[in-house]
Amino acid sequence: MAIKRGVPAILKRKHRRLILLLACGLGLGSATALVLSAFRQNLVFFVLPSDLAAQHPSPERTLRLGGLVETGSVHRSTKGKEVDVRFRITDGHTAVPVTFNGVLPDLFREGQGVVALGTLGADGTFHASEVLAKHDETYMPKDVAEALKRKGLWNPAKGPPPPASTWNTLTVPVTTPAAAAPAASAGGRQTGY
Amino acid sequence: MNPELGHFALALAVCLAAAQGIFGLMGAQARREPLMAATPALAVGQLIALGTAFFTLIWCNVVSDFSVLNVVQNSQAAKPLLYKITGTWGNHEGSILLWCFILALCGAAVAAFGQDLPSSLRARVIGVLGATSAGFLLFALTESNPFLRVWPPPPDGQGMNPLLEDPGLALHPPILYAGYVGFAIPFAFGVAALIEGRIDALWGRWVRPWALGAWCFLTGGIALGSWWAYYELGWGGFWFWDPVENASLLPWLTGTALVHSAIVVEKREALKVWTVLLAIATFSLSLSGTFLVRSGILNSVHAFANDPARGIFILALLGLVIGSALVLFALRAPALAPGGLFSPISREGALVFNNIMLCAIAAVVFTGTTYPMFVNLLTGEQISVGKPFFDATVLPLTIPLFAAMSVGPMLPWKRAALGPVLQRLWWAALAALCVGFLVGFGVRDGLVGLAFGGAVWLALGAFADIVERVRLFRLPLRESLARAAGLPRAAWGATVAHLGMGITVAGIAGMALATHVIVALHPGEGVDFAGYHWQLERLYDAPGPNYTARVAEIAVEKDGRRVALLTPSRRSYPVQRNTVTDTAIRTNLFRDLYAAVGEEQNGKVVLRLHRNPLVPWIWLGALVMAAGGALSLSDRRLRVGAPLKAAAMAKA
């Protein structure tokens, strides 16, 4: 009798463990499926203006466009009560015109790093739904910084980067103490005491 | 107070923490009573040393001692006193010191309240806490020392990030950190139990209150952070699925699972191995959340290169703490005795389901948060996942979780049937369906309807359990009330916490109906939006202690009657060369009128106006959840005396 009663109990333990495993598998499986399908639709790629010129992504694709706000390119038009901002984002090679209907973030400045979330229109204008300015004042896209450093146009130890509007025409500066001094004082937050 | 005193106290704390770790772990292993008996004193000593260091740093900030580098970089003489105090933990070095201080507080709490624990378990728990503390204190002392001096001292500091000059900063980090660090105690209990090779119901009873306490703080901390982002950042949202926010959500999800699975360990001695794994995972996620985020590794890979020593130290420390716990788990977990049996449809089964769903959500959030970083490391490509990704993955997983949330508490332990429970819940289901359909058709958005229906289901389901237990309307009212008063506080706590979740879901659903408009107005002009007339009365400058503000005065009228006068502003901080928006919010608990002011152009000013229905409920619900946890924590059964009695009975 004891054996007869024991056998179903063991089966039951296995049976229950199986159900538990199935439930875990179901949870994990549905999570994986959801992640994979969401990745297919909702991955947002980070691009630089020169990438946009090279790739021509489809207008449905949401992108994050990063670079610097070209100096002198910001135009705000307030026709009636509408708000419309136009500016150009540059990476030193290519500049892309951007339109945005909204309040620019507090840290938005000409010549400083910015990331715009939106889509590229058929006319080559980027329609931003969101504009983020980097909290770091010295931010610039990594590729831009690398390019500038490689060309010898900017040395991070000597102060802030040159304004974005001048990148295409910059010449390698002759480093003299007189030229380095104002740059060092302008980057006061970084220099130690 | 001399900064060197703080520096010395910090170094002393490292030594005491190391001794606490060595005495606790080695003493328990060698069964040397004197060594074990010394650990509580060492834990208290570490707390006193760290308390001295922390208050010295606060003092340096209060008196603006600009010979201390940390004060120079993050403070200025003209800063208001409150922000001089709160600014202490508003920067990397200070926040890590606060983190270590709270960890020492945890060790001392176990020393003080754990007197009924078996001496070897207590020594090991305190030892694990001490060893962890020693590692992070060493980091604070060598790589992020807040007491470094500068010579000559500059006349004034560089000021704090103006975004952080806010009363929210006074509360948010300490409460959030108390939540993060509080999970170190269940972690230490888990590791100690693995070393001892024994976990029983008593272990569950000891762990649960600590996990619950940490969970309450974490819930409150996340809610405060979300509220701060809502009113301070001025974007009008409450959750941005930003890596920093996700880092706090992950331990909350696994911590919630832990609080529930610990019930099964306590009541039924099942799920023991799983609970230990959850305890380890929750603290590991807390650790990586705080440190990966603070050091900038998660946000961008090159922040790592800016300060390689800091990044590598932190990675090595995380690897050591998390890795050794997991290795120990792998070695010892198979030796733990398997737990009791239960049928899939039972209270245990429902709690297992809760754990599976919460962990699935955590896995999804974890993938979405870390995937961009891995892709960047492997291919150099920069991608990001935002709200659409998390909406598409998290929302479907919450539906079965919420559906089970009202049913689970009504199922009996061990073996149950769904039929009778669903019968008792029919009125809640009916109400949820009605509300869901009415709202869904009313706003022509099925998802919003579903969310409101879910909120009603959660809130009514929470009450249904109590209604059943007190047999409301079946017994005379007076008898029902007497039964309600006699219910254990843990039952009331669960009801209140589930109700809080319902309130939060309603708030989030309401936020989906939020509307906003961006307009440029001359002073004297107005705009009609969301059933209100918003009149820009005037623009003026107002000076502040260390900023100047440009204030817009907006009168909001409904049917010719003034509802609110909003005064949003933009503050310019000259020292930091920074501008911050200060939003204006008027709430009546059912909707927020929200205004932020932007730039000025040709005499017009850009305004962003929002009407956010039900949004305060999001944070209100979180507070109710935390209150539910606290209520459950006050249950007599969880108080210190109860385990002792149970142990005595077990012996007898």
Task: Check residue A161 and give its pLDDT.
Answer: 59
**Average pLDDT of the residues in B417-443:** 90
Residue B465 is predicted with a pLDDT of 87
In angstroms, the CA A127 to CA B533 distance is 30
Confidence tier at B308 by pLDDT (50, 70, 90): low
**Amino acid letter for position B447:** L
Mean pLDDT, residues B560-577:
87
Return the amino acid letter for B617: W
**What separation in angstroms does the CA of B532 have from each of B53, B299, B518, B551?**
53, 41, 15, 21
pLDDT of residue A186: 33
DSSP state of B601: E
Q: List chain A residues with CB under 8 Å of B605.
A: none
Question: Residues A81, A69: one domain?
Answer: yes
Is residue A170, in this structure, part of any structural domain at all? no
Question: Is B277:B270 a contact under the CB 8 Å cutoff?
Answer: no
Residue A173 lies in a domain: no
Question: Which residues make Cβ contacts (< 8 Å) with residue B259, sequence separation at least 6?
Answer: B208, B211, B212, B215, B629
Specify the long-range contacts of residues A145-152, CB closer than 8 Å, at least 24 apart: A147/A92, A148/A92
Residue A30 lies in a domain: yes
Residue of higher predicted confidence among B321 and B647: B321
pLDDT at B540: 92
A83 and A54 fall within a common domain: yes
Same domain, A63 and A4: no
- Which amino acid is it at B406? S
Nearest of B568, B547, B570 to residue B160 by alpha carbon: B547
Residue numbers in A near B599 (CB within 8 A) = 76, 103-104
Is A107 among the domain residues?
A: yes
* Average pLDDT for A159-186: 44
Reported ipTM: the value is: 0.72
Same domain flag for A11 and A75: no
How would you classify the pairing of strands B383-385 and A43-47? antiparallel
Residues A125 and A49 both lie in one domain: yes
Contact yes or no for B215/B259 (Cβ under 8 A): yes
The model's pLDDT over B82-132, given as tens digits with 9 standing for 90+, comes to 999 998 988 888 989 999 999 999 999 999 998 888 999 999 999 999 999
**A118 with A65: CB under 8 angstroms?**
yes
Instruction: Let me know if B150 is exposed, middle or buried by CB neighbors in 10 A (0-12, 13-18, 19+).
Output: middle
Instruction: Give chain A's count of helices (H) and strands (E).
Output: 4, 7
Whether B599 and A19 lie within 8 Å, measured CB to CB: no
A140 pLDDT band, cuts 50/70/90, is low
CB-based contact, B554 to chain A, within 8 Å: no
Residues A125 and A73 in one domain: yes
Q: Are residues A124 and A62 in the same domain?
A: yes
pLDDT band at A157, cuts 50/70/90?
low
Q: Examine residue A161 and state whether it is found in any structural domain, yes or no.
A: no
Q: What was the pLDDT predicted at B384?
A: 80
To the nearest whole Å, the CA of A122 is away from the closest chain B CA by 23
Asked if A17 and A51 sit in the same domain, the reply is no
Q: Does residue B399 have a pLDDT over 50?
A: yes
The CATH number of residue A127's host domain is 2.40.50.140
Domain count, chain A: 2
Determine the pLDDT at residue B413.
87
Same-domain status, A36 and A64 = no
- What is the C-alpha to C-alpha distance for residues B300 and B280, in angstroms, rounded to an integer? 27
* Token pair 């023991």: residue: B272
> Given pLDDT bands bounded at 50, 70 and 90, which one contains residue A184?
very low
C-alpha torsion angle, residues B62, B63, B67, B70 (rounded to 10): 0
Backbone angles phi, psi at B571, to 5 degrees: -105, 130
Instruction: Give the CA angle between residues A159, A162, A168 to the nearest 5°.
Output: 150
Interface with A, mutate which of B383, B594, B610 (most A CBs under 10 A): B383
Mean pLDDT of chain B: 88
Q: Which helix (H) or strand (E) holds B218?
A: helix B201-232
Does the structure show a pLDDT above 80 at A112?
A: no
Q: Encoding tokens for residue B515?
A: 């509307």
How far is Cα B596 from Cα B612, in angstroms, rounded to an integer? 13
Pick the closest to residue A189 from B563, B578, B96 (CA basis).
B578
Alpha helices (runs of H) in A122-191, residue ranges in sequence order? 142-150, 177-186
Count of residues for chain B? 652
Q: Is residue A175 part of a domain?
A: no
Answer yes or no: are the C-beta atoms of B11 and B78 closer than 8 Å: no
Q: Is B602 exposed, middle or buried (0-12, 13-18, 19+ CB in 10 A)?
A: exposed
Encoded tokens for B404: 């089970």
Which phi and psi angles does B385 have, rounded to 5°?
Answer: -120, 140
With cut-offs at 50, 70 and 90, classify the pLDDT of residue A173. very low
Whether residues B383 and A44 touch (CB distance < 8 A) is answered with yes
User: According to the per-residue pLDDT averaged within each range, which of A30-39, B172-181, B305-314 is highest?
Assistant: B172-181
Encoded tokens for B358:
């919460």
Q: What's the pLDDT score for residue A83?
A: 78
Q: Which chain B residues touch A193 with a CB distance below 8 Å?
A: 69, 72, 150, 152, 154
Do residues A131 and A157 touch, judged by C-beta distance below 8 A?
Answer: no
Specify the range with the lowest mean pLDDT, choosing from A40-44, B313-317, B400-404, B637-641: B637-641
Question: Average pLDDT, stretch B243-266?
Answer: 92
The pLDDT of residue B313 is 83
Predicted confidence (pLDDT) per residue in B495-541, tens digit: 999 999 999 999 999 999 999 888 888 999 899 998 999 999 999 99
Chain A residues whose CB is inside 8 A of the B360 CB are 27-28, 30-31
- What pLDDT score was predicted for residue B637? 65
Question: Does residue A148 lie within any of the structural domains?
Answer: no
B160 backbone dihedrals φ, ψ, rounded to 5°? -100, 155
Residues contacting B573, CB < 8 A, separation 6+: B159, B162, B546, B547, B579, B580
Same domain, A68 and A122: yes
Q: Are A75 and A87 in contact (CB under 8 A)?
A: yes
Backbone φ and ψ of B600, nearest 5°: -105, 145
**CA pair distance B61, B91, nearest whole angstrom:** 12
Burial class (CB in 10 A: 0-12, 13-18, 19+), B244: middle
Which of the residue ranges B106-120, B368-382, B434-448 would you say has the lowest mean pLDDT? B368-382
Cα separation, B519 vs B87, in Å, equals 36
Could you tell me the CA-to-CA distances from B447 to B158, B436, B508 in Å, in that order?
A: 48, 9, 12
On whether both A34 and A1 belong to a single domain, the answer is: yes
- In the sheet where B515-521 sits, what is the strand order? B515-521, B604-613, B591-601, B584-587
Distance CA B610, CA B461 (A): 33
DSSP per-residue string spanning B623-635: HHHHHHHHHHHT-
Q: How confident is the model at residue B329 (pLDDT cuts 50, 70, 90)?
A: very high
Domain interval for residue A118:
45-133
Q: Is residue A169 part of a domain?
A: no
Yes or no, beta carbons of A43 and B383 under 8 Å apart = yes
Q: Is there a single domain that holds both residue A22 and residue A49? A: no
Q: In A, what residues contact B, Cβ < 8 A?
A: 12-13, 16, 19-20, 23-24, 27-28, 30-31, 34-35, 37-39, 41-46, 62, 64, 66, 76, 78, 81-83, 101-104, 106-107, 117, 135, 137, 142, 189, 192-193
- Which one is predicted more confidently, A41 or B230? B230
User: Considering only CA atoms, which of B170, B51, B29, B147 is closest in space to residue B107?
Assistant: B51
Residues of A in contact with B595 (CB under 8 A): none
